Structure 1
Amino acid sequence: MVLGWVLGKNPFIRARPARALQNIVSKHSSQFRGNAQHDALEFLLWLLDRMHEDLGAASPAQQSRGPTQPGKDGSSGASRSPPGTQHPRGQSFVQSHFQAQYRSSLTCPHCLKQSNTFDPFLCISLPIPLRQTRALNVTLVLQCERWRFVRVGLAVPLLGTVADLREMVARHGRVPAEQVILAEVSPRGLLRSLSDPEALRAAGEAAPVYAFQPPPARRAGCPRSLPTSPAVPRPEGPRLLPSAARSSDCLHRAPGGRILLLLCNTAGTGLQLSRFGPPLVLREERGVSWEQLQQNILAQLRGVLRGEVRPQGSGALFRIRLAGGSAPCTYLSPQDPRPLCHPAIDRALQLCGAGGPPHVRLTAEWDTSTKERLFGSIQEEVVQDAESVRQQQQAHGQQHSCTLDECFQLYTKEEQLAPDDAWRCPHCKVPQQGTVKLSLWTLPDILIIHLKRFRQVAEQRHKLTTLVRFPLRGLDMAPHVAQRGQPGGQLLGRWAPWQPPLCLPPGCPRDHLYDLYAVCNHHGSMQGGHYTAFCCNALDGRWYSYDDSRVEGVREAEVSTRSAYILFYQRRRAAGSGTGHWVFRLAAAEPRADP
Structure 2
Amino acid sequence: MENVKPAQFSRTDSIRELMTAMCHAFSVPPDSECRLWMKSSDSSCERLRNVHMSVLDACLSSGMTVIMEMRNADGTWPSSRPQITRNSVEEQDSYRGQPGVCGLTNLGNTCFMNSALQCLSNTPPLTEYFLQSSYLEELNFTNPLGMKGEIAEAYADVIKQMWSGRHYSVVPRVFKTKVGHFASQFLGYQQHDSQELLSFLLDGLHEDLNRVKNKEYIELRDADGRPDQEVAEEAWRNHRRRNDSVIIDTFHGLFKSTLVCPECHKVSVTFDPFCYLSVPLPVSKERIMEVFFVSLDPCAKPVQHRVVVPKAGKVSDLCSALSEMTDVPPTQMVVADVFNHRFYKVYSADESLSCILDRDDIFVYELSAPEEQQEEHVLLALYLRERSHYRDYGSGSSSYSTTLFGHPLLLGVPRSSCSQEALYTLFLQRLARTTETDASTDPPAEQLQQPRKTTEEEKEEDKQEEACSPSPPANEQPAKRRVCRKRRKSLFTIQAVNSNGMTERVMGEGGSAQYVAIDWDPEMKKRFYNENEAEKYVKDASMEVPQQQTTVQLQECIELFTTVETLEEENPWYCPVCKKHQLATKKLDLWSLPEVLIIHLKRFSYIKFTREKLDSIVEFPLRDLDFSGFLLRKHLSDGEPPSCYDLIAVSNHYGGLRDGHYTSYARNKDNGQWYYFDDSKVTYAQEDQIVTNAAYVLFYHRQDQIRKPTLPAPSDITSCTDDDAELGASSYVTMETD
1:15 aligned residue: 73
Aligned-partner Cα distance in 2 for 1:173–1:161: 19
SS at match of 1:120: strand
Letter in 2 for 1:125: S
In the TM superposition, residue 15 of structure 1 has moved relative to its aligned partner by 1.2
Conserved in 1, the CA contact under 8 Å of 2:266 and 2:577? yes
1:380 aligns to 2:530 (yes or no): no
In the TM superposition, residue 176 of structure 1 has moved relative to its aligned partner by 5.5
2:646 aligned residue: 515
Distance change (3 Å), C-alpha of 1:443 and 1:274: closer
In the TM superposition, residue 119 of structure 1 has moved relative to its aligned partner by 0.4
Deviation string, structure 1 residues 422-441 (Cα, Å, up to 9, x no partner): 54656777865332122211
1:140 aligns to 2:293 (yes or no): yes
1:571 aligns to 2:702 (yes or no): yes
Letter in 1 for 2:669: N
SS at match of 1:473: coil
Distance change (3 Å), C-alpha of 1:377 and 1:411: closer
Deviation string, structure 1 residues 8-48 (Cα, Å, up to 9, x no partner): 94365471336697997886136987452642442233324
Deviation string, structure 1 residues 193-246 (Cα, Å, up to 9, x no partner): 2345466465574645233334435369xxxxxxxxxxxxxxxxxxxxxxxxxx
Conserved in 1, the CA contact under 8 Å of 2:596 and 2:702? yes
1:29 aligned residue: 150
Unaligned runs of 5+ in 1: 1-7, 221-255, 332-343, 353-357, 485-496, 501-505, 580-595
Aligned-partner Cα distance in 1 for 2:255–2:214: 19
In the TM superposition, residue 360 of structure 1 has moved relative to its aligned partner by 2.0
2:487 aligned residue: 316
Conserved in 2, the CA contact under 8 Å of 1:141 and 1:213? no
1:366 aligned residue: 520
Distance change (3 Å), C-alpha of 1:481 and 1:454: same
For residue 424 of structure 2, the aligned residue among 294, 300, 320 is 294
In the TM superposition, residue 474 of structure 1 has moved relative to its aligned partner by 0.3
How many residues were matched structurally?
A: 484
For residue 43 of structure 1, the aligned residue among 165, 189, 201 is 201
1:445 aligned residue: 595
Aligned-partner Cα distance in 1 for 2:580–2:683: 62
In the TM superposition, residue 296 of structure 1 has moved relative to its aligned partner by 3.8
2:233 aligned residue: 83
SS at match of 1:537: coil
SS at match of 1:478: coil
SS at match of 1:479: coil
Conserved in 1, the CA contact under 8 Å of 2:382 and 2:516? yes
SS at match of 1:42: helix
Distance change (3 Å), C-alpha of 1:389 and 1:447: same
RMSD of aligned Cα (Å): 5.2
Aligned-partner Cα distance in 2 for 1:111–1:558: 52
For residue 151 of structure 1, the aligned residue among 304, 309, 319 is 304
Letter in 1 for 2:73: A
Question: What are the equivalent positions in structure 2 for 1:101-500 lying under 5 Å apart?
Answer: 101-109=254-262, 114-127=267-280, 135-142=288-295, 149-155=302-308, 162=315, 164-170=317-323, 172-173=325-326, 177-185=330-338, 188=341, 190-195=343-348, 196-197=350-351, 200=354, 202-203=356-357, 205=359, 207-216=361-370, 218=372, 257-265=376-384, 269=388, 274-275=405-406, 279=409, 281-286=411-416, 288-300=418-430, 306-307=437-438, 310-311=441-442, 314=483, 315-317=486-488, 318-325=492-499, 328-330=502-504, 351-352=510-511, 358-370=512-524, 379-380=533-534, 383-391=537-545, 394-395=546-547, 402-419=552-569, 421-423=571-573, 432-451=582-601, 468-482=618-632, 498=635, 500=636
In the TM superposition, residue 473 of structure 1 has moved relative to its aligned partner by 1.0
SS at match of 2:503: coil
In the TM superposition, residue 395 of structure 1 has moved relative to its aligned partner by 0.9
Conserved in 2, the CA contact under 8 Å of 1:100 and 1:121? yes
Identity %: 26
Aligned-partner Cα distance in 1 for 2:358–2:660: 29
In the superposition, the TM-score normalised over structure 1's length comes to: 0.63
Aligned-partner Cα distance in 2 for 1:298–1:413: 61
In the TM superposition, residue 412 of structure 1 has moved relative to its aligned partner by 2.8
SS at match of 2:666: strand
SS at match of 1:283: strand
Aligned-partner Cα distance in 2 for 1:82–1:405: 24
In the TM superposition, residue 101 of structure 1 has moved relative to its aligned partner by 0.8
Conserved in 2, the CA contact under 8 Å of 1:124 and 1:449? yes
Deviation string, structure 1 residues 272-296 (Cα, Å, up to 9, x no partner): 75338x9462322257432233334
Conserved in 2, the CA contact under 8 Å of 1:518 and 1:536? no
Distance change (3 Å), C-alpha of 1:369 and 1:518: closer
Aligned-partner Cα distance in 1 for 2:301–2:684: 59
In the TM superposition, residue 546 of structure 1 has moved relative to its aligned partner by 7.0
Distance change (3 Å), C-alpha of 1:299 and 1:120: closer
Deviation string, structure 1 residues 359-381 (Cα, Å, up to 9, x no partner): 32322223345556766778427
Aligned-partner Cα distance in 2 for 1:323–1:389: 36
Distance change (3 Å), C-alpha of 1:516 and 1:298: closer
Aligned-partner Cα distance in 1 for 2:271–2:565: 18
Letter in 2 for 1:507: D
Aligned-partner Cα distance in 1 for 2:564–2:213: 35
Aligned-partner Cα distance in 2 for 1:545–1:300: 57
In the TM superposition, residue 466 of structure 1 has moved relative to its aligned partner by 6.4
Conserved in 1, the CA contact under 8 Å of 2:262 and 2:583? yes
Distance change (3 Å), C-alpha of 1:514 and 1:376: closer
2:223 aligned residue: 68
SS at match of 1:83: helix
Aligned-partner Cα distance in 2 for 1:550–1:274: 45
In the TM superposition, residue 66 of structure 1 has moved relative to its aligned partner by 5.4
Conserved in 2, the CA contact under 8 Å of 1:67 and 1:115? yes
Distance change (3 Å), C-alpha of 1:444 and 1:219: closer
For residue 252 of structure 2, the aligned residue among 99, 120, 135 is 99
Distance change (3 Å), C-alpha of 1:515 and 1:469: same
Distance change (3 Å), C-alpha of 1:18 and 1:100: farther
Deviation string, structure 1 residues 53-96 (Cα, Å, up to 9, x no partner): 23x6777x988955534x4xxxx767944227977998957455
Aligned-partner Cα distance in 2 for 1:524–1:300: 40
Letter in 2 for 1:210: V
Conserved in 1, the CA contact under 8 Å of 2:676 and 2:684? yes
In the superposition, the TM-score normalised over structure 2's length comes to: 0.52
Conserved in 1, the CA contact under 8 Å of 2:278 and 2:601? yes
Aligned-partner Cα distance in 2 for 1:293–1:268: 19
In the TM superposition, residue 147 of structure 1 has moved relative to its aligned partner by 9.5
Aligned-partner Cα distance in 2 for 1:308–1:289: 17
Aligned-partner Cα distance in 2 for 1:368–1:550: 53
Deviation string, structure 1 residues 345-393 (Cα, Å, up to 9, x no partner): x955xx32xxxxx3323222233455567667784275332111222xx
In the TM superposition, residue 515 of structure 1 has moved relative to its aligned partner by 1.8
Aligned-partner Cα distance in 2 for 1:385–1:327: 29
